[in-house]
Amino acid sequence: MLRRDFLKNTAATAAFANAAYIPIPIANLPPIAKRRLGKTGIDLSIIALGGVAVMDESQEAANNLVAEAFDRGINYFDVAPSYGNAQDRLGPALEPYRKRSFLACKTQDRTKDGSRKELQGSLKALRTDHLDLYQLHALTKMAELDQVFAPNGAMETFEAARREGKIRFIGFSAHSVETALAALDRFQFDTILFPINFVSFTQADFGPQVIEKAQQKGMGILALKSMAKTVWTTSEKEHHPHPKCWYHPAGFPDEAALGLRWTLSHPITAAVPPGDEAYFRLAMDVAQSYKPLTPTEEKTLLAGAVNTESIFHLHNS
C-alpha cells in the first residue's frame, strides 16, 4: 500500500527540530503487539486508530487508512460524536473489519435521554449493532460525575445498553485527577482512558495517582496524549501546522517517538495517538518496533520536559 510522505514539525523544540525521519518499510516490521485489557479477556493492539485521524478526510482516504492500520496489526478503534464527521467516515471504513476489531465510542451527554440518543446515533453512523466499549467522555468536573449517577443520569443508559447487548464494556475518559479518582470509587468501570504524558507526569504530578488506583482495581488502562508536549502560545493558536491537535505536540519525530515509548513503558494496555496523520503514522512505526526506553533515552526525553508548561494540571475541576 502506498504511504504518504511525512511532514516535519516546524515548531519542534531545538533538540529535535532538525531531525529527519525516514519511515521503515512496512514489510520489514512485525505486526503491532497486543496487550490484555484489564479483566475483559480482550487483547488490544498497543496503539489505537483515533477517529480524529479520519475526520474531514474523504471516504476513500479513510478507507485506505483504516485498511492500512488493520493490516499493520491495529484492532482498537476509538471515536466519538464530538469528532466532527469521524463516525460517518469510520463506520464504512471499518465495516469490512468490524468482527475482528474492538470499537470504542463515547458520549459527552450526562443525561439518560441524551446519552441514549447519542448511543443510537453512534451505532447507526458506525454501521454496527453494538459497541465493544462505551465511555463517558471527558469527565472534568465533579458536578458532571454527580449528574451521570443521579436519577435519569447517563449511567442508566449505560447499564441498560449493556443488558440489551448494545455495549459490552463500560469505561470513561477524564481530564481531571480528582474526578477520575472519584469515578473509580463510584462504579466498577472496565476501563479508563486518561492522559499519560511525560510532561504532565513530571512537571504537574498529573496521572501517577490514577494509574496506581486503576491498577489496584484491575482495570484496563488506556492512554491519551502520549505524543503531546505543551500548550500553544496565543499566536500559535491561530496559525500552526497541526489543526487536529489542540495542544502543541512533541517534536517530530524523535521527541514524539520517545514520548510514545515512555507512555507504553507504563502499565497500560494501549495509547491513542494524535489524529494528525504524520504523528499517527509515526506511532504505527514506533508500535511495530516497540522497545522500552533505555535510561539514557528517558533522561534525554525528560530533560526536554523541565520547566515546560503541562497541558493538564491538578485540581482543575
Binned at pLDDT 50, 70 and 90, residue 28 comes out as confident
Looking at domain 26-303, its CATH architecture is Alpha-Beta Barrel (3.20)
Map residue 91 onto helix, strand or coil.
Answer: helix
- Confidence label for 235 from pLDDT (cuts 50, 70 and 90): confident
Q: What pLDDT shows up at residue 220?
A: 98
Instruction: Say how far apart CA 221 and CA 13 lie, in whole Å.
Output: 29
Confidence of residue 13 (pLDDT cuts 50, 70, 90): very low
Residue 54, CA atoms < 13 Å, CB-side half-sphere:
32
Cα 195 from chain centre: 8
| Cα three-residue angle 289-260-298, rounded to 5 degrees | 95
Mean predicted confidence (pLDDT) in 90-109: 98
- Show the cell assigned to 98: 468490524
Residue that is written with C-alpha cell 463515547 in the block:
106
Look at residue 4 and tell me whether its pLDDT is greater than 80: no
Length of the chain (residues)? 317
* pLDDT of residue 74 exceeding 90: yes
Asked whether the predicted pLDDT for residue 111 surpasses 70, the reply is yes
Confidence of residue 20 (pLDDT cuts 50, 70, 90): low
Query: Residue 77 and residue 115: Cα distance in Å, rounded?
Result: 20
Q: Is the pLDDT of residue 238 over 60?
A: yes
Please determine, for residue 162, whether its predicted confidence score (pLDDT) is greater than 60.
yes
With 50 as the cut, is the pLDDT of residue 3 above it?
no
pLDDT, mean of residues 34-52: 98
Does residue 171 register a pLDDT over 70?
A: yes
Residue 5 is predicted with a pLDDT of: 31
How much is the mean pLDDT over the chain?
92
- pLDDT band at residue 24, thresholds of 50, 70 and 90? low
The answer for residues whose C-beta is within 8 angstroms of residue 216's C-beta and 6 or more apart is none
- Determine the pLDDT at residue 277: 94
**What number of H helices and E strands is found in the chain?**
12, 12
pLDDT band at 314 (very low <50, low <70, confident <90, very high): confident
1-5, 149-153, 264-268, 283-287: range with lowest mean pLDDT: 1-5
